[in-house]
């Protein structure tokens, strides 16, 4: 990376790069975008959406890690564009969605992000109140934000760059609420103008990630073509009939939402590189501290554990959440220790450790709130252990337990 965009600095014959946090929020956002364009022009994202296989995934993770070491904002913007927007189309869409949207996602002709959170519904995705109905006369879905608490909030890309978003809403067909579904909605034209019947506001300055343009969105009778419903789990026919092979709404919801939790692996990966950066800075600033070496060891042990967990097929979503919770807790401790080890220097933004703490902190909230994930993980672990104990138990006990109410 020889571009001046990455704030190249030479010290003692070595080249260092580091974002400049003294810039205003607007400047940081602009720089993040210019850096993405720079990487795009050099073909860094080639194959990320249109390609397939383990190689592509490993390349994405490696690139996200390296970019995140430089600046967490780039990694978040790319993560939401490729993993949430692109991933939703890959997993919840069908072949026609892949053909229509993935190539343009890869080359950023479409700048797509992901809208689930409402002002009044964050962790409770199932309770969101944005409504989508179907108009069979025109073959379009009609989307509405019914009240202030249902405005979409915190949406990455919404304040500035997004042209499209995946919109999660309650799908109401012929008066029946069929539950949460996802569709593709355009929010800006190619010149960056907000489309009719859509209102957007900026979430403003944050205590971290100011290179990311979070925004709020209101939909007022916004129409999108029927084909924009991501229909791998359920579809609506042209004359307005709801079609799904999964009849149970609970199973439908989890079949649809589970693949979209892949971003949680990214959160775990981020925790590891944040620890690495914090430890490297603290160790080099402190002429080596034994405690820091122990921390470094811990960090690499956790990294191996994460890889081991990810490699294990069984119970994968729970393993993702487990890794993420584990890494978050330890990384908080590591970064606090690094900050204290640097003394007052740890508070200088230029030295990055304090800033890393804030950027790590937000990870306990997005992509699933840690407290809720802790409850889900403990519950699933409990059920898993209970079931395996039953499998080991003599037949007579198994019958009793399985048949009890």
Ligand X SMILES: Cc1cc2nc3c(=O)[nH]c(=O)nc-3n(C[C@H](O)[C@H](O)[C@H](O)COP(=O)(O)OP(=O)(O)OC[C@H]3O[C@@H](n4cnc5c(N)ncnc54)[C@H](O)[C@@H]3O)c2cc1C
CB of 371 to ligand X, least distance (A): 3
209 binds ligand X (CB under 6 A): yes
Stretch that binds ligand X, among 92-100, 176-184, 189-197, 366-374 (CB under 6 A): 366-374
In the complex with ligand X, which residue's Cβ is closer, 48 or 113?
113
3-state helix, strand, coil in the chain (%, to 5): 55, 20, 30
In the complex with ligand X, which residue's Cβ is closer, 3 or 375?
375
- Count of positions (residues) in the chain: 405
Q: If residue 306 lies in a helix (H) or strand (E), which one and from where to where? A: helix 290-311
Q: Hey, what are 176's tokens?
A: 């029946």
351 binds ligand X (CB under 6 A): no
Stretch that binds ligand X, among 29-37, 115-123, 221-229, 258-266 (CB under 6 A): 115-123
Stretch that binds ligand X, among 25-33, 56-64, 360-368, 389-397 (CB under 6 A): 360-368
> What residues between 133 and 162 interact with ligand X by CB under 6 A?
154-156
CB of 174 to ligand X, least distance (A): 28
117 binds ligand X (CB under 6 A): yes
CB of 124 to ligand X, least distance (A): 6
CB of 145 to ligand X, least distance (A): 14
Q: Hey, what are 186's tokens?
A: 């355009």
By CB under 6 A, name the one of 371, 379, 386, 397 that touches ligand X.
Answer: 371
Hey, what's the torsion of the CAs at 363, 24, 199, 151, to 10 degrees?
A: 30
User: What are the CA-CA distances from residue 131 to residues 18, 66, 150, 244, 341 (Å)?
Assistant: 43, 40, 10, 19, 51
114 binds ligand X (CB under 6 A): yes
In the complex with ligand X, which residue's Cβ is closer, 381 or 398?
381
Neighbours of 180 (CB within 10 A): 21
Hey, what's the torsion of the CAs at 66, 68, 71, 72, to 10 degrees?
A: 170
Cβ contact 129:121 at 8 Å: yes
By CB under 6 A, name the one of 139, 305, 362, 380 that touches ligand X.
Answer: 362
Strand segments (E) across 1-111? 8-11, 14-17
Number of residues binding to ligand X, judged by CB under 6 A: 19
377 binds ligand X (CB under 6 A): no
Distance between CA atoms of residues 131 and 257, nearest Å:
18
The helix-helix angle for 263-285 and 353-361 (nearest 10°) equals 160
In the complex with ligand X, which residue's Cβ is closer, 143 or 244?
143
CB of 125 to ligand X, least distance (A): 8
Closest-by-Cβ residue to ligand X is 122
The helix-helix angle for 370-392 and 395-403 (nearest 10°) equals 140
218 binds ligand X (CB under 6 A): no
Q: Which of 121, 243, 105, 122 is nearest to 162 (CA)?
A: 105
In the complex with ligand X, which residue's Cβ is closer, 169 or 244?
169
CB of 343 to ligand X, least distance (A): 29
Neighbours of 251 (CB within 10 A): 12
Q: Hey, what are 293's tokens?
A: 């070496």
122 binds ligand X (CB under 6 A): yes
372 binds ligand X (CB under 6 A): yes
Q: How far apart are the first and last CA of the chain?
A: 62
Q: What angle do CA 277, 283, 288 make, to 5 degrees?
A: 160
Stretch that binds ligand X, among 58-66, 143-151, 296-304, 359-367 (CB under 6 A): 359-367
CB of 115 to ligand X, least distance (A): 5
Cβ contact 370:328 at 8 Å: yes
> What residues between 56 and 95 interact with ligand X by CB under 6 A?
80
By CB under 6 A, name the one of 73, 105, 115, 163 that touches ligand X.
Answer: 115
Stretch that binds ligand X, among 4-12, 114-122, 216-224, 352-360 (CB under 6 A): 114-122
Would you tell me which residues interact with ligand X (CB under 6 A)?
Answer: 80, 113-117, 122-123, 154-156, 209, 214, 362, 365-366, 369, 371-372
């Amino acid at each position: 990376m020889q571009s001046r965009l990455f704030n190249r600095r030479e010290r003692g014959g070595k080249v260092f790069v580091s974002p400049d946090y003294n810039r205003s929020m607007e400047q940081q956002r602009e720089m993040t975008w210019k850096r993405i364009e720079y990487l795009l022009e050099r073909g860094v994202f080639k194959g990320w959406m249109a390609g397939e296989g383990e190689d592509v995934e490993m390349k994405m993770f490696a690139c996200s890690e390296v970019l995140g070491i430089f600046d967490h904002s780039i990694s978040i913007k790319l993560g939401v564009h490729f993993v949430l927007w692109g991933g939703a189309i890959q997993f919840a869409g069908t072949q026609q969605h892949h053909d229509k949207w993935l190539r343009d996602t890869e080359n950023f002709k479409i700048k797509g992000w992901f809208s689930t959170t409402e002002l009044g519904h964050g962790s409770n995705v199932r309770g969101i109140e944005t409504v989508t109905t179907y108009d069979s006369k025109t073959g379009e879905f009609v989307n509405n934000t019914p009240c202030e608490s249902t405005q979409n909030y915190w949406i990455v890309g919404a304040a500035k760059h997004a042209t499209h978003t995946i919109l999660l809403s309650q799908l109401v067909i012929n008066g029946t609420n069929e539950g949460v579904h996802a569709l593709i909605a355009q929010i800006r034209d190619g010149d960056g103008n907000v489309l009719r019947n859509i209102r957007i506001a900026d979430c403003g300055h944050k205590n971290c990630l100011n290179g990311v343009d979070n925004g709020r969105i209101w939909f007022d009778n916004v129409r999108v073509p029927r084909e924009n419903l991501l229909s791998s789990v359920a579809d609506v026919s042209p004359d307005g009939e709801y079609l799904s092979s999964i009849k149970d709404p609970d199973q439908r919801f989890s079949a649809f939402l589970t693949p979209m939790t892949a971003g949680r692996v990214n959160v775990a990966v981020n925790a590891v590189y944040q620890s690495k950066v914090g430890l490297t800075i603290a160790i080099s600033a402190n002429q080596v501290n034994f405690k820091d070496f122990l921390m470094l060891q811990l960090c690499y042990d956790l990294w191996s554990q994460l890889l081991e967990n990810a490699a294990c097929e069984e119970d994968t979503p729970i393993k993702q959440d487990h890794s993420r919770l584990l890494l978050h807790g330890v990384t908080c401790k590591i970064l606090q220790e690094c900050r204290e080890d640097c003394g007052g220097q740890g508070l200088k933004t230029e030295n990055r450790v304090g800033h890393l703490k804030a950027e790590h902190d937000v990870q306990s909230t997005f992509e699933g709130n840690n407290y809720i994930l802790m409850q889900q993980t403990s519950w699933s672990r409990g059920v898993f252990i209970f079931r395996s104990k039953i499998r080991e138990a003599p037949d007579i006990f198994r019958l009793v337990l399985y048949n009890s109410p």
